[in-house]
Amino acid sequence: MRFVPLAAAGLLALSLTACTAGKEAPPPLGAQPGPTANGTGPAADALPPATLELWHGFSTDVETKAFEEAVAGFTKKFPQIKVTMKKGVQDDRITQAIRGGKAPDVAASFTTDNVAQWCKSGAFQNLTPVIEQDGIDLGVLPAASRAYTEFEGKRCMMPLLADAYGLYYNKALMKGAQPPKTLSELTELTKKLTVRDADGNIEVAGFIPSFQYYENSPSHLGPMVGAKWYNDDGTSAIGSDPAWKQLLRWQKELVDWYGYDKLEKFRKGLGDEWGAEHPFFEGKVAMILDGEWRNAMIANDPDAKDMDYGTAPLPVADDKPDLYGSGFTAGTVIGVPRGAAHPQHAWELVKHLTTDTGSLVTLSNALRNVPTTRAAMEHPDLARDDDFATFLGIFTHPKTSTLPANVNSVFNQDAFSTFLTQWEKGAVKDLDAGLAGVDKRIDDKLKLSGG
Amino acid sequence: MMASTRTAPPRRRRGGAPSPAAPSPHRRRGEGARALLWLSPWIIGVAVFFVYPLLSTVYFSFHRYDLFTLEFVGLDNYRYAFSDARVLQSALNTLWLVVFMVPAQVLFALGVAQLLAKLKRGGGILRTIFYLPSLVPVVAGTVAFVYLLNPATGPVNQVLAWFGITGPDWFGSAAWAKPSLTLLALWGAGNTIMIFLAALLDVPRHLYEAAAIDGAGAWRQFRSITLPMISPVLMFSAVTGVIYAVQYFTQAMIASRVASGATDSAGSTFTPGYPDGSLLTLPQHLFHTGFRDWSMGLACVHALLLFAVAMLFTLILLRRFGKAEVAS
Amino acid sequence: MRLRRRLMWIARHALAIALALMFLGPIVLVALTALMTDEQALTSTLWPERWNWSNFADVFTHSELLTWTVNTFVYASLATLFMLVSSIPAAYALARFRFRGRKTAFLVVISTMMLPPQVVAVPIYLVWARLDLTDSLWPLILPMLFGDAFSIFLLRQFLITIPREYTEAATVDGCSDVQILFRVILPMARPAVAAVALFSFFYCWNDYYGPLLYAGVDQEGWTLSLGLATFKAFHSVQWNLTMAATLLVTAPVIIVFLFAQRVFIEGVTLTGVKG
C-alpha cells in the first residue's frame, strides 16, 4: 500500500485543522473602549442594533417565563437589541459549542463545576477589563459567589442568583419532632420515622442516606461535617481529611440499618426529582436535603402546595456544633463565551442580569432563588417568608462553603461518587485504601491536565 | 450460491495478479484505469475518513489538546491511559460482549430458527412475531427494557414474583447489567433469526432423508449436514456480531443513563458506565473523554486501543474464515 | 413412534408459543404502561386502572416528536441515497474489473468495515468544526457520498455472482461501462440494492452516537434517537409518557414493515447469504 502521498496530504490537512476549530472570532471583551459609561441613560443607545443568542438551563414553564421577563427588562433598556433564548441547555452542550466554534453570545449554567475549566481554557472571556471599564465594584457580591465565578485570578463568569442547601421536613410525618441538629439526631429520628410493611419493605423513609439519591451528592453533604476537597496545591484532600471518613461511617451505618437492598428497591421506585411524583410531595420521605428552589416547586405543584412542611439548616457533626446554620452554596453563573458574535452587547446583558437590583429581586421572587448582590438581598421587595429565610440565613452564614474550583471538578466528583457507590453497597473493605485510590485518580488526572 | 461467499481467499499472492484458478481470457487493457475512475470517490473517502484521521489520531495522542491549545506531552497520555482502571474495565466489558453476548445471540437465533424451520403451521405468524422486536428503534427498546426490568416498579419482577421468584436488580446491579443487555440483544435478534431460517430452509431435504435411512440421529444430522451447510451464514453473523459488539455504544449508554436516573436537566452531569462501570464500553469511554471531558489527546489513545482491539478480532475472524473456506 | 412424534409436535409448538409470548411481552407491557396515569406507572401493577388515551397527545405537546421524526427521515433518506450513488459504482468496479491492487482494495473495504466509527471521531470532528458544519446532521450525511464499506462489501459479494457472460455480451454489443451498469447489472442486482438501502436506512434511523456528537443544542435539529434518549429526563415527564413516545416511535416502522414484509425478509436474508 502506497500511503505516502496520502500521509503527506493528511499532515497538510492536519496543520490546517489543529490549533483552533471554528471561525475567526470578533475582538474579545475589553479590546475596545466600552460604549457605555455606566450602562444606563442615553449612552445605552451607543450600541448598534444586534440580536443576541442566550442559552440558559431553566426548563420548567415557570422558570422560563420568569427568566424571559428578566431579559425583557434588558431589552426595554436597550430597545435596539433583540435576545433569542434557548432553554434547558446543559454544560456539556455549552462547552461543546464553544470548542466547536458555535458559541452563543451569552451562556448561563446551573452549576459552578465547569467554571475553572472555562476560565482557564479561555472558553469564556475574561470579564475583568470591562468590569474595570464600567467601574463595577465587585464588593457588592458575597464572598462565596465571588469565589465560584473566578479561577486563578481570571474572572470569566458573574453570579446570577445562588442556591443554598438545607433540610426540608414534612411536618405531618415528623410526628411532632423538631428538625435534627446533629447527625446522631438525624439517625435517631430517621429510625423513628421510617415505616415498613410486613415484608420489611420501606413505605416511608425518615431520611434517605444514599449518595445516589437526588441532591445527596458528596458536595452537598460534605459541609455537614466540614469536609475538605482539596489541598492548597489542588491535589485531593479526600483521603487525608478525617471529616470525610466521619461522614461516610455515619452514612454507612444508616444505610445498613435500612438494609442496602431494601433501600435500593425503595429508591428505585421513587418518582422523578423534577416531576409531580417527587417522593417528598408524595409523603414517602420525611426529611430531604434540597435546594432553596424546592420551595417554589412545592408552591407551584397543584397537589403539593398544601403540604405542611418546614425548612432548617442541615444537621452537622456532633463534635462540630459551630457548623450548624451553614451549608453548601453554589449558583447559576453567566458569562460571555469566546467566539460570541456581539461580545459588547453580551456584556451589557450579563451586567444587567447580574447587577441590576430590580431585575435580581424580581427574578429571585419568581424563582425563589437567593439573590447575589447585597443590595438585592437587603431590598424590601424581596420575599422573606420563613421557609425561604432559612436559606438566606444559610447563604450568609460565615461557615457556608462551596465546592472549590478545579479544572477537573466534574471528573473529581465522579471519581468520588463512583467510590461512594461501592462504599454504601458494602463492597469496600478498607476505607483508607479506598479513599487513597480516589486521591490517586484525582491527582493523576490533575497531572495529566497540566497542573 | 454458497461458493460465492468468500471474503478473503485463503492465500493471496503479491501483486494481485489474477489467480490461475479463475483465468479471465477476456481481460483487456485499460481495466485498471477504468476501475480507478469508478473507485475514485471511494478512494477519496478512504483517504479523508480513514487514513488521514488515523494518522491524525496518532499525532494527537502525543499532545494535550482541548480544541483551544495544543501542547506536546510525549507519552503522558499513554502512561495515564494504561494506569487508568477505567480503561481496563471498559476493555474487559467490550471483551465480555464479544465473548458472551455475540455467541449467545448467534446460538439463540440458531435455536429459534431451527424451531421455526420445523414448524409446518403457524410459521408465518411466528416469524413475524420474532422479527417485530428488531424493528423497534434501538433507543426505544432500551428505554423500555430498563423500565420493564426496574426492580421496584417494573412489571417483569412483578410477574416473577407470582412464581415466587425474587427478581434481580437487572440494570441496577453490576453483575446483572450486561446479562440484561444480552436479553435485549436476544429480543432484537430477529434479523439473525431470519437469516438462519433462510439458510436452514435452503438445505436440501434429501440429505436428511438419506442420513435418516443410515440411522443418523438428530444431533448427528445437525453436526454433519446442517452445520456445514449453514457455516458461511453462521460466520457472517459472527463477523457482523463482533463488529457490532466492538462498537457497542447506544444500548449501554442509554441503559446506564436511564437506570441511574441521571437527569438531562441543566446542572447535572452524566458519566457513562452505571452501575459501577459495568456498562462502560471502550467507545463510550472514548466519547466521554474526548467530547465531554475534552481531553482529546487521551481520547486518541483510547481510539488507538479500540483500533487495536477491532483489528485483532478482524484478523482472528479472517483467519478462521479462510480455514472454513479451505474446509468447504 | 407415533406417540413420540405427537409429543414432539406438541413440545415444539408449546416452546414456539412460549417464546413468541416472551417476544411480544415487552411490547404489550410497554403499551399497557403507555395508557396508565403517571402515578400508576410508578407502581408494579400491570393493568391500567383508567385508560389514559390522552397520553399519546401529551407526548406531542411535551416534545418535538414530529420535528425529530422529520429530521430522522431526512437524515436516513439522504444518507441512504448518497450511499447508493457512491457505493454501487465502487462495488461494481471491485466485482467487475481485473486490476492490480484489486485484492488490496477489497481488504481495505473489509478493514474500514471493521473499524468502529469512534476510532477516528476526534480528527473528523475537528474537520467538521473547521468547516463550520457541526450543529447539523451534515457530518453524518456527506461522508456517504464517498462510499460505505459495509454496503460496498455486500453489493460486491452479490455482483460477483452475476456471470461474466452477461457483461461480456453487452460489451460485444458496444455498451459502455455506464450502460452495462444501468442496463445489465442494476436490474439483476435489484434485491441486493434494496437490501443495502434497507440496512443503511435502518442504521441511520437507529443511530444515536452520530447525532449525539453532531446534532447540537437545538432540539429542533435532533433526531428521534436523541430526543427519545433524553425524553424522560429532559421534560420531567413520567414513565407513562415515555412509554407512549416509545410506542409512537416504533409504530411507523412496524406499519411500513407489515406492508412491505416480503422486501424486508428478502433483504435481510440476502445480507446473510451473500455475506
pLDDT for the residue numbered A170 = 96
What's the N-to-C CA distance of chain C in angstroms?
41
> Which residues 150-209 on chain B approach chain A with CB closer than 8 angstroms?
150-153, 169, 172
- Are B52 and A274 an interchain contact pair (Cβ–Cβ within 8 Å)? no
From first to last of the 328 residues of chain B, give the pLDDT tens digit: 333 333 333 333 333 344 444 444 445 557 888 889 999 999 999 999 999 999 999 999 999 998 888 999 999 999 999 999 999 999 999 999 999 999 999 999 999 999 998 887 767 888 889 999 999 999 999 999 998 998 888 889 888 989 988 889 899 889 999 999 999 999 999 989 999 998 998 888 888 888 888 888 888 888 889 988 888 888 888 888 998 999 999 999 999 988 887 665 666 678 888 888 999 999 999 999 999 889 999 999 999 999 999 988 878 877 776 554 434 3
> B24 — contact with chain A (CB < 8 Å)?
no
Interface probe, candidates C75, C119, C180, C268, chain B, greatest B C-beta count within 10 A:
C119
Per-residue pLDDT tens over the stretch A197-221: 998 899 999 999 999 898 999 999 9
* Residues of chain A contacting C235 with CB distance shorter than 8 Å: 59
- Residue at B149 is within a domain: no
- Are B45 and C42 an interchain contact pair (Cβ–Cβ within 8 Å)? no
pLDDT for the residue numbered A341 = 94
Q: Does the pLDDT of residue A186 top 50, yes or no? A: yes
Of A10, A267, A441, the CB nearest to B56: A10
Q: How far is C143 from chain B (nearest CA, A)?
A: 7
Give the count of beta carbons closer than 10 Å to the beta carbon of residue C2.
6
Tell me the C-alpha distance between C30 and C22, whole Å: 13
Of C102, C157, C264, the CB nearest to B4: C157
- Are B271 and A414 an interchain contact pair (Cβ–Cβ within 8 Å)? yes
Of C130, C217, C234, the CB nearest to A55: C217
Q: Which residue of B has its CA nearest to A101?
A: B67
> B72 — contact with chain A (CB < 8 Å)?
no
Tell me the C-alpha distance between B308 and B305, whole Å: 5
Q: What stretch of H or E contains B63?
A: strand B63-65
Contact between A252 and A424 under an 8 Å Cβ cutoff? The reply is yes
Of A18, A21, A272, the CB nearest to C236: A272
Q: Does the pLDDT of residue A449 top 70, yes or no? A: yes
Q: Does the pLDDT of residue A378 top 50, yes or no? A: yes
Look at chain B and report how many structural domains it folds into.
Answer: 1
Of A82, A83, A84, A79, nearest to A44 (Cα)? Answer: A79
Of C103, C229, C236, the CB nearest to B139: C229
- Are B45 and C264 an interchain contact pair (Cβ–Cβ within 8 Å)? no
- Residue at B3 is within a domain: no
Low-confidence winner among C82-96, C109-123, C161-175 (lowest mean pLDDT): C161-175
Contact between B302 and B289 under an 8 Å Cβ cutoff? The reply is yes
- Are B198 and C102 an interchain contact pair (Cβ–Cβ within 8 Å)? no
Q: What is the largest CA-CA distance in chain C?
A: 74
Q: In CATH, what number is assigned to the domain containing residue B251?
A: 1.10.3720.10
Q: Predicted confidence band at A356 (pLDDT cuts at 50, 70, 90)?
A: very high
- Are C250 and B264 an interchain contact pair (Cβ–Cβ within 8 Å)? no
* Residues of chain C contacting A265 with CB distance shorter than 8 Å: none
Of C120, C209, C242, the CB nearest to B250: C209
Q: Predicted confidence band at A40 (pLDDT cuts at 50, 70, 90)?
A: very low
pLDDT for the residue numbered A25 = 56
Q: Does the pLDDT of residue A336 top 90, yes or no? A: yes
The DSSP bridge pattern shows strands A329-335 and A309-312 to be unpaired
Average pLDDT on A439-446 reads: 95
Interface probe, candidates C125, C236, C237, chain A, greatest A C-beta count within 10 A:
C236
- Residue at B178 is within a domain: no
Contact between A125 and A359 under an 8 Å Cβ cutoff? The reply is no
Q: How far is B96 from chain A (nearest CA, A)?
A: 21
In this prediction the ipTM stands at 0.90
- Are A22 and C132 an interchain contact pair (Cβ–Cβ within 8 Å)? yes
- Are A271 and C134 an interchain contact pair (Cβ–Cβ within 8 Å)? no
Of C16, C23, C110, the CB nearest to B187: C23
Of A95, A421, A450, the CB nearest to B294: A95
Contact between A359 and A70 under an 8 Å Cβ cutoff? The reply is yes
* Residues of chain A contacting C229 with CB distance shorter than 8 Å: none
What's the whole-number average pLDDT of chain A? 89
Structural domains in chain C plus CATH codes: 1-63+238-265 (no CATH), 67-234 (1.10.3720.10)
* Residues of chain B contacting A104 with CB distance shorter than 8 Å: none
Tell me the C-alpha distance between A72 and A358, whole Å: 13
Percent of chain C with pLDDT over 70: 96
pLDDT for the residue numbered A156 = 94
- Residue at B12 is within a domain: no
| Nearest-5° Cα angle at C17, C13 to C22 | 150
Per-residue pLDDT tens over the stretch A61-119: 888 999 999 999 999 999 999 999 998 888 888 999 998 888 999 999 988 999 999 99
Of A47, A22, A115, A17, nearest to A339 (Cα)? Answer: A22
Average pLDDT on A150-167 reads: 93
Cβ partners under 8 Å of residue C71, min gap 6: C137, C221, C222, C223, C224
Chain C residues in contact with chain A using a Cβ-Cβ cutoff of 8 Å:
38-39, 42, 104, 108, 123, 125-127, 129-130, 132, 134-135, 216-218, 232-238
Structural domains in chain A plus CATH codes: 44-163+330-396 (3.40.190.10), 164-224+239-327 (3.40.190.10)
pLDDT for the residue numbered A252 = 97
pLDDT for the residue numbered A11 = 47
Tell me the C-alpha distance between B104 and B201, whole Å: 22
- Residue at B144 is within a domain: no
Whole-angstrom Cα Rg for chain B: 24
> B50 — contact with chain A (CB < 8 Å)?
no
Q: How far is B274 from chain A (nearest CA, A)?
A: 9
pLDDT for the residue numbered C252 = 86
Q: Which residue of A has its CA nearest to B272?
A: A414
Q: Which residue of B has its CA nearest to A269?
A: B152
Tell me the C-alpha distance between B280 and C38, whole Å: 31
Percent of chain A with pLDDT over 90: 72
Per-residue pLDDT tens over the stretch C134-154: 889 999 999 999 999 999 998
Q: How far is B216 from chain C (nearest CA, A)?
A: 16
Long-range Cβ pairs for the range C185-191 (8 Å, 24+): C185/C92, C185/C96, C185/C159, C186/C88, C188/C162, C189/C155, C189/C158, C189/C159, C189/C162, C191/C158, C191/C266, C191/C267, C191/C270
Q: Does the pLDDT of residue C258 top 70, yes or no? A: yes
pLDDT for the residue numbered C100 = 86
Range of the domain at B328: 38-130+190-328
> B76 — contact with chain A (CB < 8 Å)?
yes
* Residues of chain A contacting C125 with CB distance shorter than 8 Å: 100
- Are A21 and C232 an interchain contact pair (Cβ–Cβ within 8 Å)? no
Of A96, A113, A448, the CB nearest to B269: A113
Contact between A392 and A370 under an 8 Å Cβ cutoff? The reply is yes
